[in-house]
């Protein structure tokens, strides 16, 4: 539910904005507000789970997540909706790392790989089906059902948590003398960074005083956060885990995983909406192919994790994902649903191959308390990577569109006779069709300009996919930094 809710609103922003009478800039905060709250609470999850007891902390936040989801559905203004989305993010952010901790704490070592694979289904399948599910619900019912969708599984989750998890003691005394300076600087730093990455492109990056100010606030706050955490006797999150090669290098690659996976999921829907003008439901029918094949791959992952070295799986996944991006690098305006399915399927097969070993290596051989911090760090790296990837690709598509349009415009201007003939032919066709010979030439010029913008836009998306493919190919040598652990000896968590 928590991961699904990151993506599910993206395909339905226009209907929500229309229903609320909001602008596009206001609507962007529907996603940004959720991400800010989520990334702030994720690092706190390990510590707060100890303070309040895992079962109590998890079940209360699941209940609150359901209530905030209902609040989103019943919102009557954009301010109410954004406030409810903040609540969703604060409570939903608890569910993801806590789910990993439950697997590590309650499954015996020989079932860890199966548990991680089941977790992987939700962690990677949810964002893949989010746009299609959101589009279908919005077109067939209304956008309110995007949030009512959480009610039944949320209540079922609470029932399972109360039944299956032991009631642990609370350690409320840990709140006194807690690492509040560290928590405060972390919250300000990560929150400001998320706004910069999510809203920077919309506000022209550092040309905006707001983005420039928040970038400075983020940098200063995170520097103080690192100083506090590395010098504190009782830090709320153990950043020293990054010094362990398995944790540090796997999270470095997890940041890249977030950038390319969320980035590719971002590019396809936007391309389909802007070029062939697909509906939200049609877009979902394409995007779902980045998720459906994973249902066939994940059952194989426990066997692969026990039989194939982690570095080999990660390298294979990176090669396949890079190949899928190169296949998308020759887009034309005629490319439609059929041509996009094969790259999506390859990405769906590739993602578990490098995501699951990195998940395991990030928490291998750690104590239960450190496993909670490692799970939080892994999710922070993935989310930040996703924000960085989307911000980078948004900038690439915008700037490259301008470059390609200028090149097309120069080429057309240099051959003015051909251009004049083309416009004359189009004007004659439009005049014959509409019977309006006066406005036909202006309509013909507008049509040619529209074609120029379309071709520039298509080439910019091709450039974005080419960039992803090249970055992935260049990252291949980095798998040598991962520990060379035989598959049968991947360490299990210490107790």
| Tokens representing residue 253 in the block | 């690659």
| Tokens representing residue 490 in the block | 């991947």
Q: Please state, in angstroms and rounded to a whole number, the distance separating the CA atoms of residues 69 and 95.
A: 14
- Beta-carbon contacts of residue 31 (< 8 Å; ≥ 6 apart): 6, 9, 10, 13, 198
- Tell me which architecture the domain covering 1-178 has in CATH: Up-down Bundle (1.20)
pLDDT of residue 97: 82
Please state the domain extents for the chain: 1-178, 237-495
Among the listed residues 346, 347, 345, 359, the one whose alpha carbon sits nearest the alpha carbon of residue 253: 359
* pLDDT per residue of the chain (495 residues) written in tens, 0 to 9: 887 787 677 667 777 777 777 776 677 788 888 888 888 888 888 888 888 888 999 999 999 999 999 999 898 888 889 999 999 999 988 888 888 788 877 888 778 777 877 777 777 677 667 767 777 777 788 888 888 888 999 999 999 999 998 888 888 888 887 888 888 999 999 889 888 888 887 788 888 899 999 999 999 999 999 999 888 888 888 888 888 887 888 888 888 878 888 788 778 878 887 888 777 677 777 777 877 787 788 778 878 878 888 888 888 999 999 999 998 888 877 776 677 888 888 988 888 888 878 877 777 667 766 777 787 888 788 878 888 888 888 888 888 888 888 887 777 764 566 666 666 666 677 666 666 665 666 666 666 677 778 888 889 989 999 999 998 888 888 888 887 776 655 444 444
Fold of 237-495: Growth Hormone; Chain: A; (1.20.1250)
Q: Give the phi and the psi of residue 323 in degrees, each rounded to 5.
A: -60, -40
Q: Do domains 1-178 and 237-495 have the same CATH topology?
A: yes
Q: Please state, in angstroms and rounded to a whole number, the distance separating the CA atoms of residues 97 and 58.
A: 10
Q: Please state, in angstroms and rounded to a whole number, the distance separating the CA atoms of residues 378 and 389.
A: 16
| Mutual angle of helices 337-363 and 280-287, in 10-degree steps | 60
SS3 call for 200:
coil
What's the pTM value of the predicted model, to 2 decimals?
0.77
Among the listed residues 411, 415, 410, 395, the one whose alpha carbon sits nearest the alpha carbon of residue 460: 395
DSSP letter string over 28-78? Answer: THHHHHHHHHHHHHGGGHHHHHHHH-HHHHHHHHHHHHHHHHHHHHT--SH
SS3 call for 202:
coil
């Amino acid at each position: 539910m928590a991961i699904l809710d990151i993506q599910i609103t993206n395909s339905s922003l226009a209907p929500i904005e229309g229903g609320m009478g909001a602008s596009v800039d206001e609507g962007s905060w529907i996603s940004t507000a959720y991400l800010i709250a989520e990334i702030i609470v994720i690092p706190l999850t390990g510590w707060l789970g100890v303070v309040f007891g895992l079962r109590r902390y998890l079940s209360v936040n699941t209940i609150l997540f359901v209530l905030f989801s209902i609040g989103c559905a019943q919102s009557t203004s954009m301010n109410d909706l954004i406030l409810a989305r903040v609540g969703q993010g604060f409570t939903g952010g608890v569910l993801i790392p806590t789910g990993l901790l439950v697997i590590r704490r309650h499954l015996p070592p020989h079932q860890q790989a199966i548990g991680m694979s089941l977790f992987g289904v939700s962690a990677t399948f949810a964002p893949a089906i989010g746009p299609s599910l959101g589009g279908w619900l919005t077109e067939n019912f209304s956008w309110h059902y995007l949030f009512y969708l959480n009610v039944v599984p949320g209540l079922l989750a609470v029932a399972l948590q109360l039944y299956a998890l032991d009631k642990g003691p609370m350690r409320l005394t840990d709140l006194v003398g807690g690492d509040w300076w560290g928590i405060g600087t972390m919250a300000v730093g990560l929150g400001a960074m998320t706004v910069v990455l999510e809203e920077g492109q919309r506000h022209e990056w550092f040309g905006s005083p707001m983005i420039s100010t928040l970038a400075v606030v983020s940098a200063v706050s995170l520097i103080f956060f690192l100083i506090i955490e590395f010098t504190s006797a009782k830090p709320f999150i153990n950043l020293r885990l990054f010094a362990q090669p398995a944790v540090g290098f796997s999270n470095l690659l997890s940041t890249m995983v977030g950038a390319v996976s969320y980035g590719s999921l971002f590019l396809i829907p936007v391309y389909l909406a802007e070029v062939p003008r697909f509906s939200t439901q049609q877009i979902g029918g394409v995007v779902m192919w980045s998720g459906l094949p994973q249902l066939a791959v994940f059952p194989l992952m426990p066997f692969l994790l026990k039989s194939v070295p982690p570095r080999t799986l990660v390298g294979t996944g990176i090669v396949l994902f890079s190949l899928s991006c190169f296949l998308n690098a020759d887009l034309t305006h005629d490319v439609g649903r059929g041509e996009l399915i094969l790259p999506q399927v390859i990405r769906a097969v590739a993602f578990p191959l490098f995501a699951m070993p990195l998940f395991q290596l990030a928490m291998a051989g750690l104590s239960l308390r450190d496993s909670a911090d490692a799970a939080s760090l892994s999710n922070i790296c993935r989310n930040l990577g996703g924000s960085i990837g989307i911000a980078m690709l948004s900038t690439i598509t915008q700037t490259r569109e301008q470059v390609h349009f200028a090149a097309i415009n120069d080429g057309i201007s240099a051959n003015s006779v051909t251009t004049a003939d083309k416009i004359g032919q189009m004007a004659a066709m439009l005049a014959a069709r509409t019977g309006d010979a006066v406005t036909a030439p202006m309509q013909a010029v507008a049509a040619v300009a529209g074609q120029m913008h379309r071709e520039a836009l298509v080439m910019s998306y091709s450039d974005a996919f080419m960039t992803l493919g090249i970055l992935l190919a260049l990252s291949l040598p980095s798998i040598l930094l991962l520990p060379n652990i035989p598959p049968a000896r991947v360490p299990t968590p210490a107790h």
